[in-house]
Amino acid sequence: MTPSLAALHGNRACALAAIAAGCRFFAGYPITPSSEIAEQLSRELPRVDGVFIQMEDEIGSLAAVIGASLGGVKVMTATSGPGFSLMQENLGYAAMTETPCVIVNVMRGGPSTGMPTRPSQGDIMQARWGTHGDHPIVVLAPASVQEIYDETIRAFNLAEEFRTPVIVAYDETIAHLLESVVIPQRRTVATVTRKFARGDEQGFQPYAETEDLVPPMARPGDGHRVHVTGLTHMADGFPTQKPDLAARATRRLLDKIEQNRDRIERTETFEVEDAEVLIVAVGIVARAARRAAQDLRSAGARAGLFRPVTLWPFPEQALIEAAAKARHVLVAEMNAGQLALEVERILGRGRVARLNRIDGEPIPPADIARSIREIAA
Amino acid sequence: MNVHVPHPHRAEIRLAGSGGQGLITGMHILFRALALEGKRAAQSQSYEPTSRGGFCYSDLVVSDELGDYPLATRLDMVAALSQVGLDRSLPLLRPGALVIVDERLTPDPPREGFDLHVLPILGRAVETGSPRIANVVALGALAHLGRLVGDDALEQAVRLETPAKYADLNLAAVREGLALVRGLGASTAEA
């Protein structure tokens, strides 16, 4: 059996990928420019005995998603900036309770209601730090419709494997871009399901410190004790404020992502081996940057592109390697400077320049090329 | 070979107008027609929060290169169904680009610098059955003058991409568009 080629726009690809990954529950509240995901899943989920619920708001949406996941189902919600802000408290709850869930954030112009139909990359830092406290998070940033499909599946797999919320963040432009996508045969899609508790029910610890730092989850009704709390808790699930135990609990949450960076990080590089000028970008801007790098190359400049597909945890080592020969690094993004903060932290501010756009328009290749010529001059 | 496309591997095409005119549907049809001929494309759009009115466009970038930049950078051709749609697209048009406008909806087209065709698009749509099929009339003219896709593929795509109960109306519309410009193709080389 061969894979099939389909013409899909980004949000449709996201919805179909969710089904292929095993998603069987979606709760959400419609918001431009993400609504097509909910619309599509309202039709697709009943066909696979799944559940679709339109909730009263985004707070309830993520709450319902967390509840369904705790029931043992693969879950997703989708939103945009204002809704994503409302989800932040429950996002932290999902991280603390180690509840696998996928949250799609289609980024539009902000802050607040902003420009609902215009693209933006203004949530790069909110996705990392939006919820309070030290928490683990995984954020994936696809740049094409094909990659929305592939990364949505990967988001489910990472959420399940590491019992953690995973955010898929992409801009309005690729959300509504129509491209040809290779849809793999369903049985060839590699899917991951979380570890459920097995064996002896007596003495079962719902947050046990296993070797991989990811405790097996008790499925309600199976017999193992279920204990879910947002309070800082010990291995048995009961709350603690003892300094050593509290630090240990939070440290495990962070370490299960930190120590698995090699499994989680994904990057794309283009012509970085000899690059004297390195562009760093995500989403639609990365595609403009790739074109700019091509154009600069054909004019004799050694330009390359580094694109973090996994946005958080930021692929730090991969960036250092890609920038090894770069005298200049340009961070191009549709915000006032967010990704640049991380790149500057890693590479130092000396050689990092910025190109920002906050008018609701994508950054075209020519602007990136011009910016490179200016900083290299 | 397409006379309007300087780079053989990339063509940038726009339907411009106002929200509610079916510009996105129009480009979905063209995307499908190109796919039927084995060509690769990316379709994008810009719209405003109102469901009707406002500046709206739908772009198609035809490219052989996988993962090529999918947004328009320098338009090779545009069909415009509103003056604002035309005006706001002009800065992105390359010199000599094919410009198709409606004689009533776009009263002030650029008289110089482009391969301009002023056509009774809305009039033909109304005569054919509905002003709402002006998008498909325009598409027929654009596809033929721009030599983008064969007439057969275009008609097949219209059937595939429009609701069954309006298929005949839309087919009539695309044929009207083709008929409007049939025989005009040679003039485009003068641009």
pLDDT, tens digit, 9 for 90 and up, residues B70-80: 999 999 999 99
Find where tokens 């709390």 sit.
A229
Count of A-B CB contacts under 8 Å: 49
Query: How far apart, in whole angstroms, are the C-alpha atoms of residue A120 and residue A280?
Result: 16
Domains A4-188 and A266-376 agree in fold: yes
Cβ atoms within 10 Å, residue A190: 9
Contacts of B35 in chain A (CB under 8 A): 7, 180
Cβ atoms within 10 Å, residue A112: 8
Q: Could you tell me whether strands A352-356 and A310-312 are parallel, antiparallel, or unpaired per DSSP bridges?
A: unpaired
Query: How far apart, in whole angstroms, are the C-alpha atoms of residue B101 and residue B107?
Result: 9
3-state secondary structure at position A141: coil
pLDDT at A287 over 50: yes
User: Across chain A, what does the average pLDDT equal?
Assistant: 97
DSSP letter (8 states) at residue A87? T
Instruction: Convert the pLDDT of each residue in B123-182 to its tens digit.
Output: 999 999 999 999 999 999 999 999 999 999 999 999 999 999 999 999 999 999 999 999
Closest CA to A326 of A270, A273, A269: A273
Query: How far apart, in whole angstroms, are the C-alpha atoms of residue A107 and residue A377?
Result: 34
CA of A232 to nearest chain B CA: how many angstroms apart?
A: 43
Q: How many CA atoms lie within 13 Å of B148's alpha carbon, on the beta-carbon side?
A: 34
Q: Which helix (H) or strand (E) holds A372?
A: helix A365-376
Chain A nearest-CA residue for B58: A177
DSSP letter (8 states) at residue A364? P
Cα angle A78, A28, A40 (rounded to 5 degrees) comes to 70
Q: Which helix (H) or strand (E) holds A269?
A: strand A267-270
Residue B51: per-residue pLDDT: 65
3-state secondary structure at position A278: strand
Confidence class for position B191, pLDDT limits 50, 70, 90: very low
Find where tokens 């480009």 sit.
B27
pLDDT at B6 over 80: no
Query: How far apart, in whole angstroms, are the C-alpha atoms of residue A170 and residue A167?
Result: 10
pLDDT at B187 over 70: no
Identify how many contiguous H helices and E strands chain B contains and give both numbers.
6, 6
**b (16+ CB within 10 A) / e for B25-51:** bbbbbbbbbbbbeebbbbbbbbbbeee
Residue type, A322: A
| From A123-137, A150-164, A183-197, A245-259, the region with the lowest mean pLDDT | A183-197
Residue A377: per-residue pLDDT: 84
> Taking the domain A266-376, which CATH number applies?
3.40.50.920
Phi, psi (rounded to 5 degrees) for A220: -55, 130
Contacts of A144 in chain B (CB under 8 A): 67, 70
Are A362 and B42 a contacting pair at CB < 8 A? no
Chain B nearest-CA residue for A364: B73
pLDDT at B47 over 90: no
Cα angle A48, A40, A114 (rounded to 5 degrees) comes to 145
Mean pLDDT (whole number) for B4-18: 78
Contacts of A288 in chain B (CB under 8 A): 69, 71
Are A177 and B70 a contacting pair at CB < 8 A? yes
Question: Which residues touch B18 (CB under 8 Å, ≥6 apart)?
Answer: B52, B53, B54, B55, B56, B81, B82, B84, B85
- Return the structure tokens found at B36: 């039927």
Instruction: Convert the pLDDT of each residue in A288-317 to its tens digit.
Output: 999 999 999 999 999 999 999 999 999 999
Domains of chain B: 10-182 (3.40.920.10)
Are A180 and B35 a contacting pair at CB < 8 A? yes
Confidence class for position B190, pLDDT limits 50, 70, 90: very low
Query: Is A119's Cβ below 8 Å from some Cβ in B?
Result: no
**b (16+ CB within 10 A) / e for A154-166:** bbbbbbbbbbbbb
Residue A291: per-residue pLDDT: 96
Q: Counting Cβ atoms within 10 Å, is residue B107 exposed (0-12), middle (13-18) or buried (19+)? A: exposed
Dihedral over alpha carbons A249, A251, A253, A257 (to 10 degrees): -160
Candidate from B43, B46, B48 with C-beta closest to A178: B43
Residue B64: per-residue pLDDT: 86
Query: Is A120's Cβ below 8 Å from some Cβ in B?
Result: no
- Return the structure tokens found at A62: 């993520």
Contacts of A287 in chain B (CB under 8 A): 67, 69-70
Are B69 and A7 a contacting pair at CB < 8 A? no
Query: Is A366's Cβ below 8 Å from some Cβ in B?
Result: yes
Q: Residue ranges of the domains in chain A?
A: 4-188, 266-376
Query: Is A294's Cβ below 8 Å from some Cβ in B?
Result: no
- The total number of residues shown for chain A amounts to 377
pLDDT at B27 over 80: yes
CB A33 within 8 Å of CB A175 = yes
Candidate from B44, B69, B73 with C-beta closest to A176: B44
Query: How far apart, in whole angstroms, are the C-alpha atoms of residue B113 and residue B191?
Result: 8
Chain A nearest-CA residue for B65: A291
Question: Which conformational region is residue A82 in: left (phi greater than 0), alpha (psi within -120 to 50 degrees), or beta?
Answer: alpha
Select the residue from A80, A117, A170, A359 to test the B interface by mutation, using most B Cβ atoms within 10 A: A117
- Return the structure tokens found at A188: 């060839």
**b (16+ CB within 10 A) / e for A310-349:** bbbbbbbebbeebbeebebbbbbbbbeebbbebbbebbee
Cβ atoms within 10 Å, residue B118: 15
State the architecture of A4-188 in CATH terms: 3-Layer(aba) Sandwich (3.40)
Residue B8: per-residue pLDDT: 53
Candidate from A117, A144, A178 with C-beta closest to B31: A178
Measuring CA to CA, how many Å separate B37 from each of B56, B151, B186?
Answer: 28, 11, 23
Query: How far apart, in whole angstroms, are the C-alpha atoms of residue A59 and residue A28?
Result: 9
Q: Which helix (H) or strand (E) holds B23?
A: helix B23-36
Are B49 and A116 a contacting pair at CB < 8 A? yes
DSSP letter (8 states) at residue A334? S
User: In A94-247, where do the E strands start and end?
Assistant: 101-109, 115-119, 138-140, 165-171, 178-183
Residue B80: per-residue pLDDT: 98
Mean pLDDT (whole number) for A285-289: 98
Q: Which residues pair with B79 in a beta bridge?
A: B15, B100
pLDDT at A211 over 80: yes
